[in-house]
Amino acid sequence: MRPTRKLETADAGALPGARLAERLLIVEDDRQLAGALMRRLQSRFDITMISDGASAAELLTRETFGVVLTDIQLPRMSGIDLLRVVRAYDLDVPVIVMTGAPSMETAIAAIELGALTYITKPFAGTKLEEALDRASKLVQIARAKRELLATQGAGSPLAGDRAGLEACFARALEGLWLAFQPIVDARSQRTIAYEALARTTEPTIPHPGAFIDAAERLGRLHDFGRRVRAVAAATFSPPERDAKLFINLHAGDLTDADLFDRNAPLSKLASRVVCEITERAALESVHDVRSRTTALRALGYELAVDDLGAGYAGLTSFATLEPDVVKLDMSLIRNIDESPVRSRIVESIVRLSHELSMRIVAEGIETDGELRQCVAIGCDLLQGYLLGRPAADALPSAARW
Ligand code: G
Ligand code: MN
């Protein structure tokens, strides 16, 4: 039976949208600026002022605010880490990040973590007021939308409805299963590995992205990762007995002790497993990535960089992971046979990777032309619908060329 939906936290439920939107939390350690912000905004907002990140994080897990305005450089916890906490607990409060020292990395991190806007100090003209205005309108729209959805009953979990999201997530974990997609050796044309892809019987979580999104919002990434690894260890039984297993790790999984536990179910298969770590996630957020990847290698795992070329231009994942395998994002592969420019770029990535003793997987191959071009360019391993769709039972690819 579907549990009845309940709006989050008692105080939020009791506040009408307009009043909640007025509750502003300012996190600023510079006293002068804090005072100036207070004077400037107190006629329009019900302001709570906090001077360090950790106290603000703690407060946010207990109380609901309409808008959060935070500095980046703060004592005890940075504004970016605070944003992480906000995303884990309160699901849709708009956060405005302000800084006196803008840098590309913090701006990117802030946007990735869903900051509403990023403003630089000193605040010229009415920029600050405009950002706050926009934020409080968004809160009101979010609440109205939530109410509307609640009157409709079913549907996907509501953004701010933690209880509903928790219930969906629990069912999704319960119904988690893995599809396996063949990865084919370009020379022998044999299936030599399978990538495990998370699926669930829970209808409100339609794809892996939504699954991870829910896990992140609920602060339960580790539970998701553990379940994936346990199910992988229990259900991976390919027809080729020595086939390898490629498994997707989230950057956050690197902080889970279970991953490094010798007695964890997947650890026993480690020498057959390649851990894919996506280029999309910010590895910078993980403390001490180097020693963690070293520990994974010590257990017998190999490492792959996943989704290479999917929009992220940095070299951090390459430099820090020193991967054994590089997986080219399918956006690079799409119509590669019709694009000499893309072919040349991919070819040089392949060549450089080979010089570093890394194997290359071309992902997302859908057509004969793409397949032929990937082989011609020197990709070692091939994956995509043309070679085999993800399936509940690990099935070898039937494709020959
Ligand atoms: O991020 P990652 O590379 O792990 O994601 C793989 C996703 O791509 C899976 O959800 C899988 O179902 C999908 N996929 C696998 N092969 C193909 C393909 O040939 N074409 C498309 N469009 N998607 C694919
Ligand atoms: Mn992958």
For residue 181, what pLDDT band results from cuts at 50, 70 and 90? very high
Which pLDDT score is estimated for 160? 56
Nearest-atom number in ligand 1 for the CA of 329 is 3
Which pLDDT score is estimated for 93? 78
Nearest-atom number in ligand 1 for the CA of 276 is 4
Residue 249 Cβ < 6 Å to ligand 1? no
Whether 16 has a pLDDT exceeding 60, the answer reads no
Residue 279 Cβ < 6 Å to ligand 1? no
Share of the chain above pLDDT 90, in %: 50
Nearest-atom number in ligand 1 for the CA of 181 is 15
Instruction: Name the most confidently modeled range: 57-71, 145-159, 201-215, 288-302.
Output: 288-302
Q: Which amino acid is at 344?
A: R
Residue 364 Cβ < 6 Å to ligand 1? yes
Whether omega before 208 lies within 30 degrees of 0, making that bond cis, reads no
Which pLDDT score is estimated for 153? 47
* Closest ligand (CA of 208): 1
* Closest ligand (CA of 325): 2
Whether 210 has a pLDDT exceeding 90, the answer reads no
Q: What's the CA-to-centroid distance between 45 and ligand 1, angstroms?
A: 47
Model pLDDT for residues 337-350, shown as the tens digit of each residue: 999 988 988 888 89
For residue 119, what pLDDT band results from cuts at 50, 70 and 90? confident
- Token couple for 324: 């054994």
- Please report the sign of the dihedral spanned by the C-alpha atoms of residue 68, residue 105, residue 363, residue 190: negative
Model pLDDT for residues 233-262, shown as the tens digit of each residue: 999 999 999 999 999 999 889 999 999 999
Q: What's the CA-to-centroid distance between 14 and ligand 2, angstroms?
A: 43
For residue 127, what pLDDT band results from cuts at 50, 70 and 90? confident
- Token couple for 297: 């290698």
CA distances from 29 to 13, 56, 328 (A): 31, 11, 44
Which pLDDT score is estimated for 66? 86
Which pLDDT score is estimated for 154? 44
Q: What's the CA-to-centroid distance between 319 and ligand 1, angstroms?
A: 25
Which pLDDT score is estimated for 14? 43
Which pLDDT score is estimated for 348? 85
Mean pLDDT of the chain: 85
- Token couple for 299: 């257990």
User: Could you identify the residue written with the tokens 């792959």?
Assistant: 304
114 or 224: which leads in pLDDT:
224
101-110, 171-180, 194-203, 261-270: least confident range: 101-110
Whether 274 has a pLDDT exceeding 80, the answer reads yes
Cβ distance 249 to 305 under 8 Å?
no
Q: What's the CA-to-centroid distance between 303 and ligand 2, angstroms?
A: 12
User: Could you identify the residue written with the tokens 């400037």?
Assistant: 40
